Amino acid sequence: MSARLTALLETTDGPPKLLLDAAAYAQHVILQDRPVPWHDATAFSNHLSSIQSLLGSDIVLIRLDDMLAEEIESNSALREAMTVKTRKGFALRALLSDEKLRETAQALVRTAAETQRSPVVVQLPSPKALLLAADAAAAPGSGHEFDDDDAENAAVFGADWIRGFASVGIEGIIFDERSHLCPAAVYQPITNTTEHFGVLLGHRHDETLYFNPSTEIPIADPEIFTGTEAAVTGSVLFAEIPAEAVPETVLERLTALREGQPVS
């Protein structure tokens, strides 16, 4: 299932291929700061198409971590269900067990995979980051501490949650580990799922995006889009575009990245 993504990651010919995180930028520029249509799969897919028309990323990224953060913050019924029990880890279990949320995420991913021409990947928080976010929303000041065993238990629920959309055409899942790094063993339940469905597993750090241990993608400094001189090279590049970036500058810098030129 990940054949196109694997081919892109292994490419050495032609201009660099870009994986762009344009979520914040697109919400500001395209949606004019209106909410992202998380609950309408067709509208969300149209939004992705608008991003692609504007920026032309070689790989389409869906920020499901943003969707989860918004649900935790704004869905009062879900947050209440997360507080039914006070034991450590229950909030995350309730979050990922919510059928409506699960169905919404699956519909978004399925529609995107069916309508986008480029390979689709999704980004999620690391298991420990999601544990902490759910616990903080359900029981502020609980004092709960989570170790790697807790994170692995969270990964079990996460694996069950992502199983529903790992089979609908996406080619990769990226876990954002910038705030809370987890050892490889924590991901074993998720690794088993992604390997079964032929989906590549990625880990986002501050300066490098790893797809499996052998594939390292350099991450461009976001400030290349806001004026600070920087340079980054590679056959595949990851870049996050800040919300406040000027559209004309963004297009100029993307052209420079594709041409393998320093930007200034």
Q: What is the pTM of this model?
A: 0.94
pLDDT on residue 132: 93
Question: Contact at 8 Å (CB) between 207 and 218?
Answer: yes
The CB-side HSE value for 227 (13 A sphere, CA atoms) comes to 3
Q: What gap in Å lies between CA 186 and CA 149, rounded to an integer?
A: 7
Q: Which amino acid is at 80?
A: E
DSSP one-letter code for 74: H
CA distance 70 to 38: 9
Helix, coil or strand: residue 85? coil
pLDDT tens sequence across 26-69: 999 999 999 999 999 999 999 999 999 999 999 999 999 999 99
**d(Cα 80, Cα 65) in Å, to the nearest integer?**
20
CB 62 within 8 A of CB 104: no
Checking if the pLDDT of 1 tops 70, the result is no
What are the pLDDT digits (tens) for 117-126?
Answer: 999 999 999 9
**φ and ψ at residue 243, rounded to 5 degrees:** -60, -35
pLDDT in tens, 152-187: 999 999 998 888 887 788 999 999 999 999 999 999
C-alpha separations of 48 from 147, 194, 197, 220, 254 in Å: 36, 24, 24, 22, 18
**Structural domains in the chain, sorted by start:** 3-257 (3.20.20.210)
pLDDT of residue 264: 54
Q: Name the amino acid, one letter, at 18.
A: L
Task: Give the tens place of pLDDT for each residue, 129-159.
Answer: 999 999 999 988 877 889 999 999 999 999 9
Q: Residue 40: what pLDDT?
A: 97
**Residue 255, C-beta contacts closer than 8 angstroms, at least 6 positions apart:** none
